[in-house]
Structure formats: C-alpha cells, structure tokens
Structure 1
C-alpha cells in the first residue's frame, strides 16, 4: 500500500510538472515569434546605430526626433529580449523538473512492481505452507460460504455465516476437550509406569547394594526425561486457537485511496451502509483486521467480494475486487493482501466498497480505522 501511495503521488507530481513545462514552452514560443521579425533590426542597431539613424536624409529636428524614437525602441527591444531570456530560463527549469519528476515516477513504479512481486512471492509461499488443520478449517468455511451464497440478501448471508462460525467454535471446543481428556489419561498411565519403574529400581537397590549409587543416578536421569516428555505431551494437548480470532489483533485501512462516498450518504438505494474509496487502478486491497476469510468469491451485484471475520461478531465486507488473493477459510493478519482492484472507471480511479457489521448491523467503519494502531 505504501508503494501504491508513493506511485500515486509521484504520478500527480509528474503530471503537474509536465503541465508547468508545457505552459513555459508555449510562453517561450509566443515571445520568440513576436520578437523574430525585429531580430535583423536589433542586429543592425547593435552594430551601426548612427548609420541606421542617418540612412534616411532629413532635417536636424527629424534627426533628433529619430534619435529619441531610436532610444525608446532600443529600450523596448532590450526589455523584450530580457523577457525572452527569462522565459527561456523558466522553460529550461520546468523541463528539468519535469524530467526529474518523470524519473521519480519511474522509480516509484519500479518500487510498486518490486513490492507487488514481493507480495506475490509471499502469497505463493503462504499458500505452499498451508497446514492440515488450516485445510480442514477452509473446507468447513467453504461449506459455510456455499450455504451463505444461497442467501437472499447480505443480511441473511451474514446470519448464516455467523451460525456457521458458532458451530465451528463449538466443534473446536469439543475437540479441545477430547484432547485434554486424552492428555489426562496419558499422564495417569505415565505416572503409573513411573511408579512401577521406581518400585523396580528400589527392589534392585535392595538386592544389589553395591550398585545403589549408579541406580540412583540413572533413576534421576529417567525422572527428568519422563518429566520432559510429560510436559511436551501436556503442551501438545493444549487446545488450538479457535477459528475466530480476537478483534484486537490490529487494524488497517483496506486500500490506499480517497473517500468518495461516506457512510450514510444518500443514493439511489437509500443511505450508504458503508464507505466507498477511490483508488488507483490495480491497487492492492488488504485485510482491515486479524481474522479468517468467511467468504471469498462473486456475490450478486457486489461482484467479487471478501468477507473477513474479525471475531466478536465483527465482519468486514470488501466489494468491487477484480482479483482475489485469499481463499475461504484462510487466516489473515491486519494489512495482509486479500485482493486487487481492476481497471480505472470513468473518473480515472477504481472503486472499493467497505462495509463494517457488528452482530449483523452496519456501522460506520471510520471509528474502527481511527482506533487502529
């Protein structure tokens, strides 16, 4: 997003510099054309001022009058020549600045391409390292999304997704409870085996007093190893994180752009229930929070959209995408890319619609973004 913002600013600066340069070149051309017919006269006056004045015979009064006119004309020509020189300096400086801004724009675009390549590489690596548990969660989320996609409207869709999330949390808790009970049974068996081993070592110590020191040392080593294994088993049996992370995992504005329609603004379909951003064509769209992707795909008139479950009944709807970089069920972090906008619209910018819902009710997202950090 930082690279997209820098490229957008560099493009605006380059366009402004080119406009100033073009205006300076037009002014320089206008002054040069106006002065061109007088150049031969200026050259002659600079070389033969007296001869030029006396070329035409006349009375002394005419000669004096001609000298005064010549003096005034010389001043005017000098002023015009100085103005032309200044216009040329302005045009040269404007051209230099335009070239510098163009070079800056090229660097910014190169940074955008490099950042996009890095993001693509990171996305490819993230997709490569999907764990088996994440695949199961994605499959469950895909089933929930398939069911939600058959909803009649967005409200019903969010209700179905919320019910599916609640079921997934219940299943996760049940799975964690089963793992805890299994860990407790393993710990009891381990304790029984440890007690039996200790009794055997004690019998061996009574039967062979000469090996008592060695047996005691070996028993201590075995106890430490058993304790390490027991701790490892206990750590492995801890419940895995639930499918709905906390909403406090960080916050991010989803796209580098400007607000074109605010929450509550009137429109053809009534007051706006979200925010609409105008952004550069092809801009990257990121997750506003830490959470899981509850839905990723086309949905009715919204086009391609992503719904991020931020936890605690908070969902973000990101609509108007041209490409999706996140799959249903995937876990995302604040600022992690989830898609990309398409080509520019009539106003030269692409659009992203952002809607925040708390327990199914649309609320103004600006408060969420102001509280980020």
Structure 2
C-alpha cells in the first residue's frame, strides 16, 4: 500500500510550495503597473485643476480691485469738479460784488458832483436865510417866492445828500462782500488743487496698470489711431474708426468660428481621453460688463456757450461747446471703451468713447489725456484736462450710427 502511494506521488511530480500565490495573484503585477502609470496623470490633472482655480480666483480679485480703483477715480473726479464748480460760483459772486461796488461808487461820484456847486450857497442860506433875502432890494412877493425856492433847494440838497450816504453804505457793503467772496474763491481753489493732486496720483497708478496691456490690444489701438489720424475731418475720422471696429469684430468672429470648427473635428475618443487626464476649464475671469449708454453728468464744470444745431460760419453746429476754467477736469459722460485718444488736427487732444448701442462720443480741446486707446472706463472717470491758460472750451459731439445727434439725451447740460 505504501509503495503504491509513493509511486503515485512520483508520477504526479513535485508538490507546489505552500506559499506559492494562487493563479489570480500572478495577474497582480500588471494591474499594479497600470495603477502606477495612471496615478501621475491623475495627480497632474488635480494640480492643473488647482492652478486653474487659483488663477480664476486671482482674476476675480483683480477685477474687483479694478472696479474699486475705478470707483475711487470716479469719486476723485467728482470731488475735483465739485471744487471747480464752487470756485467758479465764488468767482462769479465776487465779480458781481465788484460790479455792484463800482456802480455804488459811480452813483456816489455823480451825486457828489451834483451837490458840490450848491454847497457854499446852501451852507450860507442854511445858517442865515432871512437876512440874505431881506437885504435884497426886492418886492415882498418876490422875497416870499425866493424863500419858497430856497426851501425846495434845501430839500433837494438833503435828498441828494441822503442818496450819497446810501451809495456810500452800499459801496462799503459790496466791498466787504467782494472781500468775502474772494476768500471763498481762494478756499475753493485750494480744495480743487488738493483734490486734483490726489486724482493725479490715482491716475498715475492706473497708467502703470494700463502699460501691462497685451501686445494684441496695443496693436489694435495703434491701428485705430492711425486710421483716425489719416482722416481730413472729424466726420471722416469717425467713419474710419467705425470701419476699423467692424473689421476687428469680423476677425474676432472668424477666430471664434475657427475654434468651434476645430473643436467639432476632434474625435470622440480623443475628447474622452483628454477628459480623463485634463482638468475641466477654469471659470472665466470676472469682466466688467459694458455700461449701457444713458443719461450722464456734465463732462466738465462749465457753461454752455454754443448749443447743438445753432448757426455759425461753418453751418449748424454738429455738437455743443462748453466754456470752463483753465485746467478744468474732463470726465466721461458714458461708460465703454476708448476708441481713440490722441491729438487730432485743430481739435487739440481728442477722445472718442464707444458708448455702445452704435454711439460714439467725441470730447475735444484737451491739453492732457488721462486715458489710452483700448482702455475700458466707467461713466464719471477722468479722461483729460483742459488747457491751463486763457479761456478754454470743450467740444462735445455725439454720433449715433454715423449721424451727428443732439447729445442732451446722453449728457445732462443743465441748460
């Protein structure tokens, strides 16, 4: 029996080792290798997802900071214009007081001239009227008449003297009022200078950020400026600008269509493989939406000197003209993008704002510009400064789909 068992064991071959893995365990090394190969791709995808999320958060923070800085510039420009308006009002009141004082002094001089020839005789008559008249060889009736005439002359002299005293009092009051208004003007002017200096510091920081624009944006702005600069007049300049903007919009639309075609041409399997290893796209950064055109504020602290469609040497006015103080700040009545910002022929430094809805607003006559082509701004942000000497004016023209229209629906002129 024992021999038979031994023979069977010999024929069956050597017994397997006790610690030998089962058949399923032999497949384990390839599975581990596959897992080890997938793990780095998964980790890279998670890293890319975290980086994209962080970039989106940074973009949102940058957009919020840009909005905060724009709000500060708007508030600063409003303070500057309020101070400039107060200074203008004080200057007007001071001038009115000066004129009133001059008129009072003129009245005083006139009354003095009228009263001066009568003073010696009136003084004598006032002291001893009866002896003078009785000494004259005249009938009693004529003496009585002379006394009546003297009384009337005295009453007239008293009236003139009273007017003289009132004129002197008015002149003194107007001189005092003039001095007070001059003091108020000096205070308002100092506040305007202080607010303007603060705004200049904010604009310097904005220009530093603006210098970091992409090369594509700078090239597009340069092309728009070149197209406008070649124009012979403002109407041609706006037409060239609209064509350039249409060309850029068409090119952008074509790029979007090409991207869609490339995306549609991808094989489903390739898209599936990319989705396995590529993180989902990060949410787009928050972008300030374009501000719709609507009623805005006066672009400069000044007064209307020529209205839209008013007659002139060159025909009806296509825009309006505002007179302002030297060095007055100019702000944007609407939000949108700066389509052009550069000198243009006899208009001086000029800004063209694309306010949306087919509207372009022209602000011309500035000595300094605080914006650049391609920049997005909000309503109320500063765009430039008028000349600091003489009697500067700001020209404002609104074009709607190429046609000059009355800017009053867009800008409140208060007149």
Are the aligned partners of 2:112 and 2:164 in contact in 1 as well (CA < 8 Å)? yes
Are the aligned partners of 2:295 and 2:410 in contact in 1 as well (CA < 8 Å)? no
Which 5+ residue runs of structure 1 have no aligned equivalent?
Answer: 179-183, 192-229
- Of 159, 173, 192, the residue aligned with 1:93 is 173
Q: Given the superposition, is the C-alpha separation of residues 5 and 70 from structure 1 closer, same or farther in structure 2, using an over 3 Å criterion?
A: same
- CA distances 1:26-84 after superposition (whole Å, capped 9, x unpaired): 221232344345556666677x6489759969899598777666655544443333232
| Paired residues for 1:1-373 under 5 Å | 1-36=81-116, 49=128, 71-72=151-152, 74-130=154-210, 132-133=212-213, 137-151=217-231, 153-163=236-246, 165-166=248-249, 170=253, 189=277, 234=282, 237-239=283-285, 241=287, 245-248=290-293, 251-342=296-387, 349-369=391-411
Are the aligned partners of 1:53 and 1:66 in contact in 2 as well (CA < 8 Å)? no
Equivalences, count: 320
- CA distances 1:107-150 after superposition (whole Å, capped 9, x unpaired): 23223323322322221232234473467634532333224433
Are the aligned partners of 1:276 and 1:352 in contact in 2 as well (CA < 8 Å)? yes
Question: In 2, distance between residues paired with 1:185 and 1:263?
Answer: 64
Question: In 1, distance between residues paired with 2:294 and 2:151?
Answer: 80
- CA distances 1:290-347 after superposition (whole Å, capped 9, x unpaired): 12212111223433211112234322122222222222222222121212223677xx
- Bigger mean CA deviation after superposition, 67-76 or 94-103: 67-76
- CA distances 1:199-256 after superposition (whole Å, capped 9, x unpaired): xxxxxxxxxxxxxxxxxxxxxxxxxxxxxxx9xx83xx415538x8242587333223
Q: How does the TM-score come out when normalised to structure 1?
A: 0.68
Structure 1 or 2, whichever has the larger Rg, is 2
Question: In 2, distance between residues paired with 1:360 and 1:6?
Answer: 37
Question: In 2, distance between residues paired with 1:279 and 1:108?
Answer: 15
Q: SS of 2:410's equivalent?
A: helix
- CA distances 1:255-280 after superposition (whole Å, capped 9, x unpaired): 23333343344545444333333333
Question: In 2, distance between residues paired with 1:80 and 1:268?
Answer: 51
- Bigger mean CA deviation after superposition, 301-310 or 72-81: 72-81
Question: In 1, distance between residues paired with 2:253 and 2:86?
Answer: 45
Higher RCO (CA 8 Å, separation ≥ 6 residues): 2
Q: SS of 2:360's equivalent?
A: strand
Say what the alpha-carbon RMSD is for the aligned residues.
4.2
Question: In 2, distance between residues paired with 1:282 and 1:252?
Answer: 19
- CA distances 1:130-176 after superposition (whole Å, capped 9, x unpaired): 473467634532333224433462243222331355268559969x9
Question: In 1, distance between residues paired with 2:363 and 2:163?
Answer: 56
- CA distances 1:80-104 after superposition (whole Å, capped 9, x unpaired): 3323222221222222222222222
Q: How does the TM-score come out when normalised to structure 2?
A: 0.62
Q: SS of 1:339's equivalent?
A: strand
Which 5+ residue runs of structure 2 have no aligned equivalent?
Answer: 1-80, 263-271
Q: Given the superposition, is the C-alpha separation of residues 253 and 167 from structure 1 closer, same or farther in structure 2, using an over 3 Å criterion?
A: farther
Question: In 1, distance between residues paired with 2:333 and 2:105?
Answer: 47
The aligned counterpart of 1:199 is none
Following superposition, the deviation at residue 4 of structure 1 comes to 2.8
Q: Given the superposition, is the C-alpha separation of residues 257 and 370 from structure 1 closer, same or farther in structure 2, using an over 3 Å criterion?
A: closer
Q: Given the superposition, is the C-alpha separation of residues 355 and 185 from structure 1 closer, same or farther in structure 2, using an over 3 Å criterion?
A: farther
Q: Given the superposition, is the C-alpha separation of residues 134 and 37 from structure 1 closer, same or farther in structure 2, using an over 3 Å criterion?
A: farther
Question: In 2, distance between residues paired with 1:343 and 1:32?
Answer: 44
Are the aligned partners of 1:281 and 1:344 in contact in 2 as well (CA < 8 Å)? yes
Q: Given the superposition, is the C-alpha separation of residues 357 and 36 from structure 1 closer, same or farther in structure 2, using an over 3 Å criterion?
A: closer
Q: SS of 1:24's equivalent?
A: helix
